[in-house]
Structure 1
Amino acid sequence: MAETTIRFGILGCADIARKLSRAITLSPNATLHAVASRSVDKATAFASANGFPPASKIYGSYEALLDDPDVDAVYVPLPTSLHVHWAVLVAQKKKHLLLEKPVALNAAEFDKIVDACESNGVQLMDGTMWMHHPRTAKMAEFLSDERRFGRLQKVHVLFTYGADPDFLKNDIRVKPDLDALGSLGDIGWYCIRAILWAANFELPKTVIALRDPQLNEAGVILSCGASLYWEDGKSATFHCSFLSNLTMDITAIGTKGSLHVHDFVIPYQEKEASFFAGSESGFNDLVTAWSSEPSKHIVTTELPQEAQMVREFARLVGDIRFKSLKPEKKWPTISRKTQLVVDAVKASIEKGFEAVHIQEQASVAVLSGLDYLKKNLMGRST
């Protein structure tokens, strides 16, 4: 049975929108229908450069795109400071919402977005693309295997890249009025998501920011990290930075096994990704070599992870439009948990690296997805 095609509009011509335009083109159940910019000329040039179909619509305002009755879903790659305004308008126009991360400047803003999506019956998903790579599901299977991995004890995550001087001076991610969360929101989001994913999306009870984060002159975070603690004894750390060489590592350690991945956000190769898994590793009798080496697991995919994300989002939209199903709650639930930890790290920095205790005060709309999370999330079971 052929997949129904969902028509996408893109709100803005941000650089990341180039990647999502390609992903929409590659997805078998999605098509590029419209793009909007504050300038018709800019929108026209973007459409031409990014393979939009000849019949696609070009708009010189965001409002005009949202008024297009043929747009089913909208991708919003705007600066984080603009998310709450435009995301709420997208939902009010009954358009389904694929929202770039970080989803908001704080959880209170995100709750406004969730409320708008819930009250208008539209699907919400954030743009954390690596969650949709089939490798992620395979790694989750290993982490949930009590025989091979055991009980999770520690997680350590790194995402850093060396931004050039122009980026550090002019990019929106270093501007307090555009993306005030800086590296914490841009790449720390991925680190926090990875930690929560490894912990089966159980929120930590305590978050403590690591000392000596690096800020620019405007006070935007360029480099930071934090430690996270759970009541059952497991813990995690992460570090994110615009000032260090490119690194994308997850290490998860259990009582019986360990998992390592070195390219978790963007795989070294688009259609092939790997990870290392070890169980009950040890040394030989002379302690000169490992007696049980971690094994390398390779996972292939026909579609890149961004297209996998679009395909899943479009499938959910199609289920709502053509099968009268309700919007899936797991994705906004995951987004909000990630945002809560981002907020806690920021609060800890601002409080002089004091411990911040996370007390989730979720809306009914978000909490209603928790039962689904417990039973069916990325191949995991509780």
Structure 2
Amino acid sequence: MAESEYQHPNNLPTIRFGIIGCAAIARKLARAISLAPNATLYAVGSRSLAKAEGFAALVGLSGAVKTYGSYDQVLDDPCVDAVYLPLPTSLHVHWAVVAASKKKHLLLEKPTALDAAELDQILEACRFNGVQFMDGSMWLHHPRTCKMKELLSDQRVFGQINYVYSTSTMTENPEFLQNNIRVKPDLDALGALGDTGWYCIGAILWANDYKLPSTVQALPDTTKNAAGVILSCTASFQWSISSNTATIHCSFLSHTSMDLAISGSNASIRANDFIIPHKEDSALFEFSCGAKFAELHIGWNMDPKEVRVECDMPQEALMVQELARLAQGIKRYGHQPDGKWPEISRKTQLVLDAVRRSIDLGFKPIQL
């Protein structure tokens, strides 16, 4: 067995993960790594050893997990195969490029970068060094997502998609709106657009098979804080070839929502928890096909069908499992990195950039 391989308790060789940065979301990923059958958490690094040790104690990590007082120490450890990077967005380009140069596969928290130019630097470093890239859009790995795509792809049943609507909102308290890194222009300048809007943009692209819209336009309801960081915004999208349209709304100022509604010529799909399911072990969505108003328009001719999809592991663990599977194929069998995941991230970033540009230009339409 190679030095950087490890036997999981289930006797499967695993990919050793390092976590760089101890943000709150890193607790969720530490758990996910422990649940994935082909991954193990090997090291945690923070800006000080005390912070790394505090994180390890908080999460209940075993003494076998190494703690480091700098990010470089994690990346310099030859036994670390892959890293999860949940740092502020402004730090992504530097540390992601360094990680790739150290031959570490990369799970990068979203938004991936401040703009597509920065993301291109990251993706080029990953390509040059032959490492796998993936962003932290965990909902894409849930089996419900696969089931919804299966229905969307059957044009005989669903028909032509013509409208997609997505929201990702949360009501944050004054402390968050004043001090959280996601409202600081030097740390996460994209604000709600980058944090919650990433999911919405990803969802409308996913529904349209990642065809880029021809026109992107932010609506003039955008709210910013005193530092100019977006707290809430809405945007519309148009695909000229297919005549599809979409709308997103993302916000730190509205009650929690994670809606995805997709309308086709014959059917529709709706999920109100598409980013984080209400339950870990299963998820629901509504599917309607052939629905019409009843006589006199006093009701409907049918109720939506409730489709339940079981899930053996949390979606975050499924995401880790997929990255580890790809990393293991590269490491053991000489496979090439899967280009699907960087392509998804780059298209999402391009559309996000267009929304931001529309806001900056006074809500003018942007052509892609």
Q: Which TM-score band applies after superposition, normalised by the shorter structure?
A: over 0.9
Residue in structure 1 matched with residue 58 of structure 2 by the alignment: 49
Residue among 285, 293, 298 paired with 1:275: 285
Residue in structure 2 matched with residue 94 of structure 1 by the alignment: 103
The Cα offsets for residues 61-108 of structure 1, whole Å up to 9 and x where unpaired, read as 111111000000000000000000000000000000000000000000
Residue in structure 2 matched with residue 67 of structure 1 by the alignment: 76
In structure 2, what is the Cα distance between the partners aligned to 1:51 and 1:29? 20
CA shift at 1:287, angstroms? 2.7
CA shift at 1:3, angstroms? 4.0
Residue in structure 2 matched with residue 78 of structure 1 by the alignment: 87
The Cα offsets for residues 200-222 of structure 1, whole Å up to 9 and x where unpaired, read as 11110110001130000000000
Contact 2:170 2:255 in 1 (8 A): yes
CA shift at 1:2, angstroms? 5.9
In structure 2, what is the Cα distance between the partners aligned to 1:192 and 1:240? 10
In structure 2, what is the Cα distance between the partners aligned to 1:140 and 1:299? 13
Residue in structure 2 matched with residue 291 of structure 1 by the alignment: 301
Structure 1 counterpart SS, 2:158: coil
Residue in structure 2 matched with residue 110 of structure 1 by the alignment: 119
Contact 1:279 1:292 in 2 (8 A): no
Residue among 10, 33, 36 paired with 2:19: 10
Residue among 350, 355, 358 paired with 2:365: 355
The 5 Å alignment of 1:324-335 reads 324-335=334-345
Residue among 307, 319, 334 paired with 1:309: 319
In structure 1, what is the Cα distance between the partners aligned to 2:255 and 2:309? 26
Residue in structure 2 matched with residue 174 of structure 1 by the alignment: 183
2:243 is the counterpart of 1:222: no
In structure 2, what is the Cα distance between the partners aligned to 1:284 and 1:245? 33
Matching residue's letter, 2:338: E
Which blocks of at least 5 consecutive residues in structure 1 are unaligned?
A: 359-382
In structure 2, what is the Cα distance between the partners aligned to 1:234 and 1:144? 15
CA shift at 1:56, angstroms? 1.6
The Cα offsets for residues 32-80 of structure 1, whole Å up to 9 and x where unpaired, read as 1001111101101111221323222111111111100000000000000
In structure 2, what is the Cα distance between the partners aligned to 1:287 and 1:351? 44
The Cα offsets for residues 227-248 of structure 1, whole Å up to 9 and x where unpaired, read as 0000121100000000010011
Residue in structure 1 matched with residue 5 of structure 2 by the alignment: none
In structure 1, what is the Cα distance between the partners aligned to 2:326 and 2:59? 25
% identity of equivalent residues: 57
Shift in CA distance, 291/311, structure 1 to aligned 2, threshold 3 Å:
same
Structure 2 counterpart SS, 1:89: helix
In structure 1, what is the Cα distance between the partners aligned to 2:157 and 2:76? 53
Matching residue's letter, 1:316: L
In structure 2, what is the Cα distance between the partners aligned to 1:262 and 1:212? 23
The Cα offsets for residues 330-353 of structure 1, whole Å up to 9 and x where unpaired, read as 000000000000000000000011
Matching residue's letter, 1:109: E
In structure 2, what is the Cα distance between the partners aligned to 1:16 and 1:294? 35
How many residues of Structure 1 are paired with residues of Structure 2 in the alignment?
358
Contact 1:32 1:53 in 2 (8 A): no
Matching residue's letter, 2:166: V
Residue among 21, 26, 31 paired with 2:40: 31
Structure 2 counterpart SS, 1:147: helix
In structure 2, what is the Cα distance between the partners aligned to 1:2 and 1:238? 45
In structure 2, what is the Cα distance between the partners aligned to 1:228 and 1:283? 29
What's the TM-score once normalised by structure 1's chain length?
0.92
Residue in structure 2 matched with residue 154 of structure 1 by the alignment: 163
In structure 2, what is the Cα distance between the partners aligned to 1:64 and 1:284? 66
